[in-house]
Amino acid sequence: MYHHSGSVVRQTAGSGAGVLEPAAPDRDAIVFQRCTWCGTAMYHRLLCPVCQGSDLRTERSEGVGTVRHSTVVHRNTPAARNVSLIEMAEGFVVRGRVIGPPIGIHSGDRVRLSTAKDPVRSEPVFQLIDEP
């Protein structure tokens, strides 16, 4: 069993473990990694999924993306909610929730990161940019 010790030196934000815990996170931004070897953008990884490189640098997303897939979930919740895969403009995909009626969210909708927080899961929350 692993126990974190206070005597362990923390790695910097550019290294493998530091990217998951940035030094000063911005509440209105998504932090992601980019491989320094092949340039692939990814969300919360230890190795690059393309070249298996471990030299990842931390970057901040602009918070704009497109819904790739959305589904309505009725399980373990008093009301229906959506779970969406959002393809961010920087090229990585993140799972989150889009504010609005669950059946009104479709693939191809443009979204922006919201300041709201998901109370059940600590996933990012987005809002539609081009609401009907």
Q: Which strands, in side-by-side order, build the sheet including 56-60?
A: 41-42, 31-35, 56-60
User: Over the range 35-71, which residues count as b (16 or more CB within 10 Å of their CB) and which as e?
Assistant: beeeebbbbebeebeeeeeeebebeebebebebeebe
- pLDDT bin (cut points 50, 70, 90) of residue 11 is very low
Instruction: Compute the average pLDDT of residues 19-34.
Output: 62
Tens of pLDDT along 73-92? 887 777 777 889 999 999 99
Q: What percent of the chain has pLDDT over 70?
A: 73
- pLDDT bin (cut points 50, 70, 90) of residue 130 is confident
Predicted confidence (pLDDT) at residue 100 exceeds the cutoff of 80: yes
Using a cut of 0.85, tell me whether the model's pTM lies above it.
Answer: no
**pLDDT at res. 119:** 65
- pLDDT bin (cut points 50, 70, 90) of residue 120 is low
